[in-house]
């Protein structure tokens, strides 16, 4: 087995992965690990994930070897049917190879975790607030198509339409690894349904992903650094909405990070969830410092305007969605806005693995 195993979009470090799996197997066989159930579950999850990756590569390599031998045998015996069957079998392996490639691209420390996704409308009032609502719908549809679970933790409705902001929790394997590629500003160009003169408008919204982290990760939060506000929840949620100050907003003063939750009836539960969100945001901030990334994963650090957008969605005068980092584009705007963004996610993952960091030319 060569090391590392190379995919079309990334590299899987075979030797280190095999060594790590052996270590995890040894830990799993030690009965004392269950003295700490949380740690045990984390070890088992990592073990299963790594075992799936390694066995997937072995399965593909063995299948390729077997079919290559069949092709050689068919050619030697002059039996074209054997050659044809083996070639069809190799062609049918495309889906398995694509899955292994995706796993190779999602090998970051927190990529396998659930994700928070914060959406904020930019300047522009109703136009941007409507666009924020469209963007939230797009991600909810994508999550449903990916068999992920979605929970709305916080939502502030727009003055006339749409939303001013929303925070979602998206639960599923590799949710954060995929959604981190969507962090940035999204630009919409269309004929406004709110403009009686039917003029073309440009709107901006930001989407920021950060990982849901385990409780055993030590992130120090000093109570005096926090500003905690309670308020009445808004939007769908039952009879308790607008009757009690159950929603909680926490501001971390040193960083300016703001998190909020109004998903539960209980103020105590909302506060606990908001603290988990804050812990995740601070963890993500530390990861970014270690990786020497310029952009921090919170919406307050990037203006929702020109110069920061990662993708343009043009609905008029033509139909085109284009990623400004990778150049990947499609004219099927309706499908994208209905959640079909997997191709954009894969293109962005591959682009990051190759070290790409320059925006391609923008579109009008």
Confidence band of 283 (pLDDT split at 50, 70, 90): confident
Q: Is the pLDDT of residue 240 over 80?
A: no
Cα separation, 162 vs 63, in Å, equals 51
Q: Is the pLDDT of residue 294 over 70?
A: no
208 against 213, higher pLDDT? 208
Q: What is the DSSP string of 177-197?
A: HHHGGG-EEEEEEEE-TT-TT
In 3D space, the residue among 90, 89, 86, 96 whose CA is nearest the CA of residue 53 turns out to be: 96
Q: Using DSSP bridges, classify how beta strands 115-121 and 11-12 pair: parallel, antiparallel or unpaired.
A: unpaired
CB-based contacts of 62, cutoff 8 Å, min separation 6: none
Q: Is the pLDDT of residue 236 over 80?
A: no
Q: What is the rounded average pLDDT of the residues 200-217? A: 84
- Which part of the chain is CATH 1.20.58.410? 5-105
Q: What is the rounded average pLDDT of the residues 192-214? A: 86
Selection from 114-128, 137-151, 198-212 with the highest mean pLDDT:
137-151
CB-based contacts of 105, cutoff 8 Å, min separation 6: 7, 9, 10, 177, 346, 349, 350, 353
Q: Is the pLDDT of residue 169 over 60?
A: yes
Based on the number of CB atoms within 10 Å of its own CB, is 285 exposed (0-12), middle (13-18) or buried (19 or more)? buried
Three-state secondary structure call for residue 168: strand
- Which part of the chain is CATH 3.30.70.1660? 115-353
| pTM of the shown model | 0.70
pLDDT at 66: 93
Confidence band of 72 (pLDDT split at 50, 70, 90): very high
pLDDT at 92: 87
Confidence band of 130 (pLDDT split at 50, 70, 90): very high
Q: Is the pLDDT of residue 343 over 70?
A: yes
Window from 214-218, 270-274, 328-332 with minimum mean pLDDT: 214-218
For 93, which DSSP code? T
Taking the chain, what is the end-to-end CA distance rounded to the nearest angstrom?
49
Q: What is the rounded average pLDDT of the residues 263-286? A: 87
Mean pLDDT score of the chain: 82
Helix (H) or strand (E) holding 276: helix 267-290
Task: Evaluate whether 238 touches 227 at the Cβ level (below 8 Å).
Answer: no
The helices-and-strands tally (H runs, E runs) of the chain is 9, 13
260 against 56, higher pLDDT? 260
23 against 140, higher pLDDT? 140
Selection from 141-155, 202-216, 268-282 with the highest mean pLDDT:
141-155
Tokens of 123: 């300047």
Q: Is the pLDDT of residue 202 over 60?
A: yes
Q: Is the pLDDT of residue 290 over 70?
A: no
Selection from 213-217, 304-308, 335-339 with the highest mean pLDDT:
335-339
Confidence band of 215 (pLDDT split at 50, 70, 90): low
Q: Which fold has domain 5-105?
A: Methane Monooxygenase Hydroxylase; Chain G, domain 1 (1.20.58)
Q: Which fold has domain 115-353?
A: Alpha-Beta Plaits (3.30.70)
pLDDT at 301: 45
- Angle of CA points 334, 335, 341, to nearest 5°: 125
Phi and psi of 146, rounded to 5°?
A: -85, 5
pLDDT at 3: 43
Window from 132-146, 207-221, 296-310 with minimum mean pLDDT: 296-310
Selection from 26-35, 159-168, 332-341 with the highest mean pLDDT:
332-341
């Amino acid at each position: 087995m060569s090391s590392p195993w190379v995919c079309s979009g990334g590299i899987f470090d075979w030797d280190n992965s095999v060594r790590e799996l052996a270590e995890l197997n040894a830990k799993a066989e030690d009965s004392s690990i269950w003295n700490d159930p949380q740690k045990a579950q984390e070890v088992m999850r990592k073990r299963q994930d790594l075992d799936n990756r390694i066995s997937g590569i072995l399965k593909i390599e063995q299948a390729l070897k077997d079919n290559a031998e069949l092709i050689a045998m068919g050619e030697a015996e002059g039996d074209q049917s054997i050659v044809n069957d083996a070639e069809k079998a190799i062609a049918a392996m495309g889906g398995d190879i694509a899955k292994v490639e995706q796993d190779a691209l999602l090998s970051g420390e927190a990529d396998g975790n659930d994700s928070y996704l914060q959406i904020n409308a930019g300047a522009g009032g109703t136009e941007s607030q409507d666009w924020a609502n469209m963007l939230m719908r797009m991600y909810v549809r994508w999550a449903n198509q990916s068999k992920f679970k979605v929970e709305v933790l916080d939502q502030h409705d727009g003055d006339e339409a749409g939303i001013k902001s929303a925070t979602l929790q998206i639960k599923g394997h590799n949710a954060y690894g995929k959604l981190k590629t969507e962090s940035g500003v999204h630009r919409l160009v269309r004929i406004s349904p709110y403009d009686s003169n039917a003029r073309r408008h440009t709107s901006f919204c930001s989407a920021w992903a950060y990982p849901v982290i385990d409780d055993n990760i030590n992130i120090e939060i000093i109570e005096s650094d926090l500003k905690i506000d309670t308020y009445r929840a808004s939007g769908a949620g039952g009879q308790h909405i607008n009757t009690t100050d159950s929603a909680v907003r926490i501001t971390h003063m040193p960083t300016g990070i703001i998190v909020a939750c109004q998903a539960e009836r209980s103020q105590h539960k909302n506060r606990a969830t908001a603290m988990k969100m804050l812990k995740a945001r601070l963890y993500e901030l530390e990861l970014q410092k270690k990786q020497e990334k310029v952009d921090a994963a919170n919406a307050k650090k990037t203006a929702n305007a020109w110069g920061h957008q990662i993708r343009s969605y043009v609905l008029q005068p033509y139909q085109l969605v284009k990623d400004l980092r990778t150049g990947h584009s499609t004219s099927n705007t309706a499908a994208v806005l209905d959640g079909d963004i997997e191709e954009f996610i894969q293109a962005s993952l591959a682009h990051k693995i190759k070290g790409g960091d320059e925006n391609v030319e923008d579109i009008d």
